[in-house]
Amino acid sequence: MSLVGLEQQDLVATLTLDNDAKRNALSAALIAEAITALQSCRERGVRVVVLRAHRGVKVWSAGHDVTELPRSGRDPLAYDDPLEQLIRAVRSFPAPVIAMIEGTVWGGAVELCLACDIPIGAPNVTFAITPARIGVPYNPAGLLRIVNEVDPSVVKEMFFTARPLPAQRALEVGILNHVVPEHDLERFTYEMAADIASLAPLSISVIKEQLRLLSNARPMAPETFERIQGLRRMVYDSEDYREGVSAFLEKRPPRWTGR
User: Counting Cβ atoms within 10 Å, is residue 85 exposed (0-12), middle (13-18) or buried (19+)?
Assistant: middle
Considering only residues 213 through 232, tell me which ones interact with ligand YXS, judged by CB under 6 A: none
The verdict on 8 binding ligand YXS (CB under 6 A) reads: no
Residue 178 parent element (H or E): strand 178-179
Cα dihedral sign for 133, 135, 141, 147? positive
Comparing CB distances to ligand YXS, the nearer of 111 and 117 is 111
Apex 63 CA angle, 98 and 26, nearest 5: 80
Residue type, 85: Q
3 state SS of 28: helix
CB-based contact 66:25 (threshold 8 Å): yes
**6-27: burial string, b at 16+ Cβ within 10 Å, e else:** beeeebbbbbbbbbeeebbbbb
Distance of closest approach, residue 142 Cβ to ligand YXS, in angstroms: 8
| Residues 16-55: x where in contact with ligand YXS by CB under 6 A, - otherwise, as a string | ------xx-x------------------------------
Q: Which of 9, 28, 75 is nearest to 236 (CA)?
A: 75
178 catalytic, yes or no?
A: no
The verdict on 134 binding ligand YXS (CB under 6 A) reads: yes
Q: Catalytic pick from 108, 135, 142, 244?
A: 108
Cβ-closest residue to ligand YXS? 107
Interface stretch with ligand YXS, choices 100-108, 119-127, 181-189, 192-200 (CB under 6 A): 100-108
The verdict on 146 binding ligand YXS (CB under 6 A) reads: no
Give the integer Cα–Cα distance in Å for 104 and 131: 16
3 state SS of 135: coil
Among 12, 15, 51, 59, indicate the residue that binds ligand YXS (CB under 6 A): 59
Distance of closest approach, residue 63 Cβ to ligand YXS, in angstroms: 3
| Residues 155-194: x where in contact with ligand YXS by CB under 6 A, - otherwise, as a string | ----------------------------------------
Exposure of 4 in the CB half-sphere (CA atoms within 13 A): 24
Chain-centre distance for alpha carbon 196:
22
The verdict on 119 binding ligand YXS (CB under 6 A) reads: no
The verdict on 108 binding ligand YXS (CB under 6 A) reads: yes
Residue 142, CA distances (Å) to 72, 83, 146 in order: 20, 11, 6
Among 37, 136, 165, 197, indicate the residue that binds ligand YXS (CB under 6 A): 136
Interface stretch with ligand YXS, choices 130-138, 186-194, 209-217, 222-230 (CB under 6 A): 130-138
Considering only residues 78 through 97, tell me which ones interact with ligand YXS, judged by CB under 6 A: none
Report DSSP state, residue 45.
Answer: T
**Residues involved in catalysis:** 64, 108, 138
Contacting positions for ligand YXS (CB under 6 A): 22-23, 25, 59, 62-67, 76, 106-108, 129-131, 133-134, 136, 138
